[in-house]
Amino acid sequence: MLTQEELEIFKNKLLDRRVQIEKNLAGTTLELKGMRELELNDEGDFAAASAETMVDSAIMEQQRKELAEIDLALDKIKNGTYGICEMCEEPIGRARLEVKNFARFCITCREINEKEQQ
């Protein structure tokens, strides 16, 4: 089990990451709005802008998913269930939480879950 001090450290990391993602999303939204207002002179400009918009949209979608995972992890800290695997209900290893602060599954269950989703 994680100590109160360790929980506080993870909570701060999650909060810092949430702030960073929110800044990224706000910045990307402004860029996309600016691109829509650009006058694109030819098909090449339009194609380049479209490709960039698609990449930005994919990145934004990934960051929104991460934001939801972070919010879920913060709720778990409040509820006292942070660091416990959602499948087997065993503790998630500290090393795994260090790498992925919002991990929902232990390594074993994560692999099972990924195989089931394929």
Q: Tell me the two tokens of residue 22.
A: 């929110």
Angstrom distance (rounded) from CA 19 to CA 40: 33
Collapsing DSSP to helix, strand or coil, 2 comes out as: coil
pLDDT in tens, the chain (118 residues): 889 999 999 999 999 999 999 998 888 777 767 766 666 666 666 666 667 777 778 888 999 999 999 999 999 999 999 999 999 999 999 999 999 999 999 999 999 988 888 8
Per-residue pLDDT at 43:
67
Q: Tell me the two tokens of residue 95.
A: 């090393």
Give backbone dihedrals phi and psi of 81, rounded to 5 degrees, phi first.
-110, 5
Per-residue pLDDT at 13:
97
Q: Going from the N-terminus, what domains does the chain have, and what CATH number goes with each? A: 4-117 (1.20.120.910)
Whose structure tokens read 């600016």?
34
Residue 84 pairs in a beta bridge with: 91
Q: Tell me the two tokens of residue 3.
A: 């100590």
**Predicted structure pTM score:** 0.79
Per-residue pLDDT at 1:
80
Q: Dihedral, CA atoms, 100, 103, 109, 113, nearest 10 degrees?
A: -100
Per-residue pLDDT at 54:
78
Per-residue pLDDT at 58:
86
